[in-house]
Amino acid sequence: MTPQQPLTAPNLAQLQNQIHEKFAAANRKPNATVIGNWLSLNGITTHTGADKHYRAINAYSNSRLSQIKNQLIGIQRPRPLKAFSIGSILHQLILEPELAEAQDYVFLTPAPIRHLLAAKKSAIRNRLLKRVLSNEETQVEQVFTWTDAKTKLPCKAKVDIAYRNQRGLHIIDLKSTAAKDLDTFLADCKKYEYVRQAAFYLDGTGAETVTIYGIQKRAPYRVFRKRYTKQELEEGRWMYGFILGKVIENKEKLIPRLGID
């Protein structure tokens, strides 16, 4: 697959016209969140609100570490735009439902809307997710910044869910998944190096735990959970530390550098 070429201004205008026509046909008011996801689906990244602030922070995120790792070993992995968009929509519907309803996504056909609604319903029925998301003190999409102790490089994370109990701060990261069962999801956790993300978040936020929840995008819409052991987190800590170390060694070769996710 060849990298997608940047869209020109006329194409951007055409896409904007298309989405506004879809809103009109559905008799719904244009929604900025939906428009942003529509443009993302078509290869144009827009950043508004809190996301704009986060993107502007000159620091290394976990996704940036993945890009650096791939760059160092010569792997080019184009972002799967459709999968990314659906995952982004599910996150928004669960964590920030006030921004847009499923029916606002007028560029989707009825089938994916039904899947999104069913997946959301399953997620908020989960006992822990239901409890923390109903707590007014729980923070969603919270931004953390810190300096890595060994390399002194600036780092950042925007965590899905941050909540506190008597033990301290806890982080939850939501993943939409096509995994058919828990074993497949756990294999995906290893494949996508979620342990590195967990260790990166744990060390950066000072949290007591980081838990990964996988939400099936298709029936039966199960919710899987992965919490890493201390031994696993040590492995993840080594992984992100290794990449940050390579940043120091190859700083001039890694382009783009900061602030790019």
Q: If you average pLDDT over residues 33-48, what whole number do you get?
A: 79
* pLDDT value at 261 more than 60: no
Mean pLDDT is lowest, of 77-81, 127-131, 250-254, for 77-81
* pLDDT value at 110 more than 80: yes
CA distances from 136 to 13, 27, 163, 190 (A): 40, 33, 10, 33
| CA end-to-end span of the chain | 21
- Residue where the block lists tokens 């756990």: 186
Q: How many CB atoms sit inside 10 A of residue 181's CB? A: 11
Report pLDDT for 114: 96
**Rounded Cα gap, residues 192 and 68, in angstroms:** 14
Report pLDDT for 79: 56
| 149 vs 55, higher pLDDT | 149
Provide the token pair at 200: 């990166």
Category of 112 on φ-ψ map: left (φ > 0), alpha (ψ -120 to 50) or beta: alpha
CA distances from 30 to 71, 85, 96, 177 (A): 38, 18, 17, 29
- Residue where the block lists tokens 């719904």: 28
* pLDDT value at 1 more than 50: no
| 30 vs 83, higher pLDDT | 30
Q: If you average pLDDT over residues 121-139, what whole number do you get?
A: 96
Structural domains in the chain, sorted by start: 126-256 (3.90.320.10)
Mean pLDDT is lowest, of 7-16, 54-63, 179-188, 237-246, for 7-16
* pLDDT value at 189 more than 90: yes
Contact 217, 177 (CB under 8 A): yes
Report pLDDT for 260: 46
**Rounded Cα gap, residues 47 and 51, in angstroms:** 6
Specify the pTM.
0.87
From 111, 119, 113, select the one nearest 101 (Cα to Cα). 113
